[in-house]
Structure 1
Amino acid sequence: MAIKIEMLRCFRAVADHGSLADAAEKLGRTPSAVSMMLRQFEDHIGAPLFESARKSRLTPLGELIRAEAERELDHFERTVRSIESLSRAEHGNVRLSATPSVAQVILPPLLKAFMQEFPGVRVEISDTDSATIERDLAAGRADIALASIGPMQGFDRELVFTDAFGVVCPVDHPLAQNWSRLDWTSLTDHRFIANGLCQHIPDAGFQPILEASTLFVRNTASILSMVRAGAGISILPELSILPEFLDLEFLPLQDCEIRREVWMLSQPQMMQTPATRALVAALRRANISGKPTKDRPARVAPAPPGALSPGFPDR
């Protein structure tokens, strides 16, 4: 007789509850039915799995088989959930992990349109740092990731958008008065707030500034709060600064050509649920760009002394 999934379920229930009666109640069966299924399992194994008829303690072999049964049942239950999810495509779930600036700036209008098109799909968003996003994706806690992370085995990866790095400071900061000639040497006399994205800037002129920093902050919202409080200046991608942040300036750097790259990672299409495929397609169609738009005008450099100033829109 082949081992059946119901044998494993009965065995696990008896091992978990320590009695046939409690296991039967949990499974919605009679104690005699559970006893017969367990006896068939032990007959197939050719050895007892419990040390006594009371079923309160496993044999050493029973302990080993219990661990294997747990793994097989967990795998089977995940498979069933995936099949059921596929059969309910119009009411699927998608778990999306994104960095905070992407979640704040890029996702709101995109998801508004997506939810209008797919009203039955439930989208769960987690905004956190790239390292945590990578762990969530690897552990199966996310279906789609939007972050500055490298290739991962078993996942498709495509570039979604890039945007420039620049200095973030209060609007009344001295650097904001002469930003058109801003370079790394301009930052040396100012307190600097380091963050996780700094690792993506290999410029030699930036390294002494980074090494001298005594404050490291991971979360974008916290970084901006520190800048607002006068704790220092920082380097962030342009899209981290929303147009309504009127008290902050994003200042481009003359000698920094490195751009933040945001990638979309997901399982291969053949392994995606219909809901996940739909959201991946929506992200792909979005044509996101870090370039200025009508709602986010480009900043114009201040005119040199004595020249007419073209002015620039306040953010």
Structure 2
Amino acid sequence: MALKIELLRGFAAVARSGNLSDAAGILGRTPSAVSMMLKQLETHLGEPLFETDRKNRLTALGAFVLEQAERELQQYDTMVKAIEGYAKATHGHVRIATVPSVAGTVMPLVFSRHISDFEHVDIELRDMDSISVLHELSRERIDIGIATLGQNSSGLHSQHLLSDAFGVICTRNHPLAQQRGKIDWDMLRDERLIANSLSAGINAEPSRILHDKALLKAQNLTSIMAMVRAEIGVTILPEMAARAANAPELVFCQLADSRATRQIHLLRKTDTALSPAARLLEKHILTCAAELTEGGLS
């Protein structure tokens, strides 16, 4: 018959305690049940494991079996703990890529509230643009993606995370900052626009005309904000991107055009099941994003 781990655990308990009664208490079994386990093990091996019936002196075989059993029991218990931890989302590895604005707003809220849920989980967080997020998902280099959907989104499961309205970013002393209400495209006709890849994606004809005339283009958020701060021009960014930039000396003025909104989705491969830890992280992301949206991003 196969040598069962329970028999080794029972023998090790007796060998450590030196008697059946104490071993039975450790194992939560009766002394007679522990005695039966020892007999089964000795029958399987064909040799006695103890010198006497008092169970306080090991034979040479008993000493060898105890040495091997303790090593195997430790490895077995470690394996069981790892399996159970993975199943309960307390162990594992989660790779997530997100657009920078979510990385700077939603994710800090998620981890500040729920980091204790992931004490033994290896979490890799990267921020990148939406195209790169979709690319990494298609190559299965990440488990969870947070981005705007594009043409290369086939084979992905998407769940709407939040809507992010675009607005004009300018200095506090800029005339646009003194306007009451939202900004119309006509108000930007004579402004020097610092274009960027996010604002270029707004699906509205006035926006395309404005971007076609723009002589300044920048991709890095730090560079964009620095130019606005220097009063070189104004830029158009989603509210979360402006918030993540943490520039209190600048003002976010929302655009009036309802088309000037980007939709951010929580993404994963359709044919790939998430680990328990990844599912738990996904749940926390959805909850925190909903709270931010309900509470207002400004």
TM range (shorter): 0.5 to 0.7
Q: CA deviation at 1:274?
A: 1.8
Change (3 A) 1:86 1:127: farther
2:173 equivalent in structure 1: 172
CA distance in 2, matches of 1:166, 1:106: 19
Q: Does 1:266 align with 2:268?
A: yes
1:250 equivalent in structure 2: 252
The 4+ residue runs of structure 1 with deviation greater than 4 A are 85-88, 289-292
Q: CA deviation at 1:189?
A: 1.3
Q: CA deviation at 1:136?
A: 1.4
Change (3 A) 1:111 1:274: same
Q: What secondary structure sits across from 1:206 in the alignment?
A: helix
Q: CA deviation at 1:257?
A: 3.9
TM-score by length of 2: 0.64
Q: What secondary structure sits across from 2:284 in the alignment?
A: helix
Matches within 5 A, 1:190-209: 190-209=191-210
1:210 equivalent in structure 2: 211
CA distance in 1, matches of 2:291, 2:174: 28
Matches within 5 A, 1:92-111: 92-111=92-111
Q: CA deviation at 1:184?
A: 0.7
2:46 equivalent in structure 1: none
Q: Does 1:147 align with 2:147?
A: yes
Consecutive unaligned residues of structure 1, counting only runs of 5 or more, are 1-84, 298-315
TM-score by length of 1: 0.61
Matched-pair contact (CA < 8 Å) for 1:129–1:219: no
CA distance in 2, matches of 1:148, 1:222: 22
Matched-pair contact (CA < 8 Å) for 1:130–1:147: yes
Q: CA deviation at 1:142?
A: 1.4
CA distance in 2, matches of 1:200, 1:290: 24
Matched-pair contact (CA < 8 Å) for 2:100–2:127: yes
Supply the AA of the counterpart residue of 1:216: K
For residues 196-243 of structure 1, give each alpha carbon's deviation from its aligned partner in whole angstroms, at most 9, with x where no partner exists. 222431222222210011222223333222211223211111122239
Q: CA deviation at 1:270?
A: 5.9
Matched-pair contact (CA < 8 Å) for 1:128–1:219: no
CA distance in 1, matches of 2:260, 2:182: 17
- Give the structure with higher Rg (CA): 2
Supply the AA of the counterpart residue of 2:195: A
Q: Which moved more, 1:134-143 or 1:281-290?
A: 281-290
For residues 107-130 of structure 1, give each alpha carbon's deviation from its aligned partner in whole angstroms, at most 9, with x where no partner exists. 101122232122111211111111
The aligned length equals 212
Change (3 A) 1:289 1:216: farther
CA distance in 2, matches of 1:116, 1:269: 30
